[in-house]
């Protein structure tokens, strides 16, 4: 199918919506506005409603999510080593648009960059803390119940659970969504939108109501995913500014930060993937390497490396049984629902956004190259990062006791228990300078905190500009260079949504709603995987028969499916 055949009539040729699907654009804005107004006007009621839905999903459907992610991971590894791995995401003679370094930088930026900076200290400390308030007793994810002392085994167990939530299972759905979109978009010449992956199942009906509904769901999830992350993330940026310069971390500061991030992200999105987004992503990686190196060099190096190697081995040996474990009663149900199922919902809700972006930057790579790169490179970086950040905090608690001073003068464990997550990162940085194996290196804490605050700012910019590009790509029926004026409108609109919800106190409610929305999205993802496998099976390039004997003359989807 050619790129301008079945969907060309759906994009406006003149008027305000030139380059976009008018009906979808109006519907998306209307739905988002209605949802935000409802949440803002009824914060307590909306929050309770969304929380009830999420609790029902997390506690009653854990078996569904556990099974879904385990199957998704199996499909990923099977495709990676199957005969389909040699198929190129594009024409047979196409080659990658970006260098490996640029590609890896953008993968990491869009996928988990800001997340591991925000939770890099807090999450391992959560798991290291054996307090029953976190539902850890008898939890087979990590045998912490038998470790009442702050020892190395507790540290390894805590890091293993952290790896599990940020590892292969979560990335499997980013991989599958991104692969589906890149395959149908670049090889089958269909629009670079979620609807295209359903073509093997419903054919031309992807251009009708079903296709519109799927793409609108993806737009909906992307806007609120970016907006809630932006709104909630400015709390850590504000904490950093307060820690460094004494700036009031109140609502006014947060609104200014949202405005600045939104404007810069919009400028980046307007400049496109090849310029703004790529350059920012590469800078983020280099600066992240500097901050990571500081944690390694000034921290307990030998202990951290031992923790990393041991935890990787434990994770590799246990990630499959961990992935299948399903709680059935008692505190285990609450723990798994509040942590693992929450994370699986978060990965699903972000997969349309991240998947479209990953597909956009992966043209010309083979399926095997795509899957190895997307699955292993960001995961390996994330594991090392989490171990260096979380490991430093754990070491400080083990060797300095509960009196470890964090940014607000409390112990790091107590700081995290109080849900003061922003202070946990800066408290750990403060302690690195005073506990370094090199002696008193307290002078490094201030520049490290400054760099961490700047990285929070820049990582949010790359998440926001990527989200803007994805939204406008879907509303323009897969155009990888959507109209600039709509990139500006949607880029600033994300900031407006975040600011409105921040003022009304509705960001927490919306984050809960985003996780609940993962349930209907999961059915779309199942259909996408089914459509992908069906189409790959029929792809002449993967046939055991010589390609020369197959009538594959460059025409794609209709011929492959309906010959």
The Cα–Cα gap between 70 and 319 comes to 10
In whole angstroms, how far apart are CA 463 and each of 106, 107, 228? 10, 11, 12
Whether pTM exceeds 0.75: yes
Q: Which residues, in sequence order, are CB contacts of 30 under 8 Å at separation 6+?
A: none
SS3 361: coil
Structure confidence at residue 465 (pLDDT): 82
Helix, strand, coil % (nearest 5) of the chain?
80, 0, 20
CATH number of 8-562: 1.10.4160
Q: Which residues, in sequence order, are CB contacts of 361 under 8 Å at separation 6+?
A: 97, 98, 103, 106, 107, 273
| CA-angle at 421, arms to 414 and 411, nearest 5° | 25
- Distance of alpha carbon 151 from its chain centroid, rounded? 32
Domain boundaries, the chain: 8-562
The Cα–Cα gap between 275 and 507 comes to 32
Per-residue confidence of the chain (563 residues) as pLDDT tens digits?
A: 434 445 666 788 888 888 899 999 999 999 889 988 888 888 888 888 888 887 888 778 889 999 999 999 999 999 999 999 999 999 988 999 888 988 888 887 766 667 788 788 988 988 887 543 343 333 444 444 444 456 788 889 889 999 999 999 999 999 999 999 999 999 999 998 999 999 999 999 999 999 999 999 999 888 887 877 777 678 888 888 988 898 998 889 999 999 998 999 888 888 876 666 778 878 888 998 999 999 999 988 899 999 999 999 999 999 999 999 888 877 778 788 878 888 898 889 889 888 988 998 999 999 999 999 999 988 998 999 999 999 999 998 888 754 443 444 336 777 776 667 767 888 889 888 776 667 677 789 899 999 999 988 888 888 888 888 889 989 998 887 889 999 999 999 888 888 887 887 766 776 777 777 788 899 999 999 999 999 998 888 766 554 443 343 334 555 555 44
Task: From 562, 490, 343, 549, select the one nearest 19 (Cα to Cα).
Answer: 490
The Cα–Cα gap between 47 and 53 comes to 10
Structure confidence at residue 152 (pLDDT): 83
SS3 13: coil
The Cα–Cα gap between 225 and 511 comes to 7
Phi, psi of 168 (to 5 degrees): -60, -40
Q: Are 469 and 273 in contact (CB under 8 A)?
A: yes
The Cα–Cα gap between 378 and 86 comes to 22
Structure confidence at residue 306 (pLDDT): 95
R_g over Cα of the chain: 23
* Cα dihedral 536, 542, 545, 549 in deg (nearest 10): 90
């Amino acid at each position: 199918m050619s790129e301008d055949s079945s969907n060309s009539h759906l994009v406006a040729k003149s008027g305000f919506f030139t380059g976009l699907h008018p009906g979808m654009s109006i519907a998306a804005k209307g739905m988002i506005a209605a949802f935000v107004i409802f949440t803002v006007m009824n914060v307590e009621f909306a929050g309770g409603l969304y929380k009830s839905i999420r609790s029902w999903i997390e506690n009653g459907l854990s078996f569904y999510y556990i099974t879904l992610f385990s199957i998704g991971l199996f499909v990923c590894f099977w495709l990676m080593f199957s005969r389909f791995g040699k198929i190129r995401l594009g024409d047979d003679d196409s080659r990658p648009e970006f260098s490996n370094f640029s590609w890896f930088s953008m993968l990491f930026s869009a996928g988990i960059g800001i997340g591991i900076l925000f939770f890099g200290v807090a999450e391992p400390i959560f798991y290291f803390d054996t307090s029953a308030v976190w539902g850890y007793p008898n939890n087979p994810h990590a045998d912490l119940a038998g470790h009442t002392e702050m020892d190395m085994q507790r540290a390894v167990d805590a890091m293993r659970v952290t790896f599990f939530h940020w590892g292969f299972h979560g990335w499997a759905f980013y991989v599958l969504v991104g692969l589906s979109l890149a395959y149908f978009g670049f090889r089958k010449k269909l629009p670079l939108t979620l609807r295209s992956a359903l073509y093997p199942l419903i054919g031309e009906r992807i251009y009708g109501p079903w296709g519109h509904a799927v793409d609108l769901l993806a737009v909906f999830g992307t806007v609120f995913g970016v907006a809630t992350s932006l709104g909630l993330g400015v709390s850590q940026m504000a904490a950093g500014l307060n820690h460094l310069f004494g700036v009031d971390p109140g609502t006014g500061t947060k609104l200014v930060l949202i405005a600045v991030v939104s404007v810069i992200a919009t400028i980046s999105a307007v400049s496109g993937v090849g310029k703004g987004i790529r350059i920012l992503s590469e800078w983020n990686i280099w600066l992240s390497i500097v901050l990571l190196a500081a944690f390694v060099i000034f921290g307990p190096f030998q202990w951290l490396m031992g923790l990393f190697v041991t935890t990787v081995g434990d994770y590799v040996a246990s990630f499959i049984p961990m992935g299948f474990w399903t709680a059935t009663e008692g505190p285990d149900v609450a723990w798994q629902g509040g942590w693992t199922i929450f994370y699986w919902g978060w990965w699903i809700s972000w997969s349309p956004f991240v998947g479209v972006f990953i597909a956009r930057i992966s043209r010309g790579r083979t399926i095997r190259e795509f899957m190895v790169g997307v699955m292993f490179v960001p995961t390996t970086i994330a594991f090392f990062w989490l171990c260096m950040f979380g490991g430093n905090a754990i070491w400080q608690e083990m060797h300095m006791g509960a009196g470890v001073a964090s940014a607000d003068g409390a112990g790091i464990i107590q700081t995290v228990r109080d849900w003061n997550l922003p202070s946990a990162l800066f408290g750990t940085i403060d302690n690195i300078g005073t506990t370094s194996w090199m002696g008193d290196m307290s002078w490094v804490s201030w520049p490290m905190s400054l760099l961490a605050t700047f990285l929070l700012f820049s990582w949010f910019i790359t998440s926001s500009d990527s989200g803007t590009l994805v939204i406008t790509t879907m509303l323009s029926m897969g155009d990888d260079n959507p109209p600039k004026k709509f990139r500006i409108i949607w880029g600033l609109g994300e900031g407006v949504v975040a600011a409105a919800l921040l003022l009304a106190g509705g960001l927490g409610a919306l984050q809960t709603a985003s996780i609940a929305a993962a349930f209907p999205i999961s059915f779309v993802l199942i259909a996408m995987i089914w459509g992908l496998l069906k189409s790959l099976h029929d792809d002449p390039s993967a046939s055991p028969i010589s390609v020369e004997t197959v009538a594959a003359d460059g025409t794609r989807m209709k011929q492959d499916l309906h010959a």
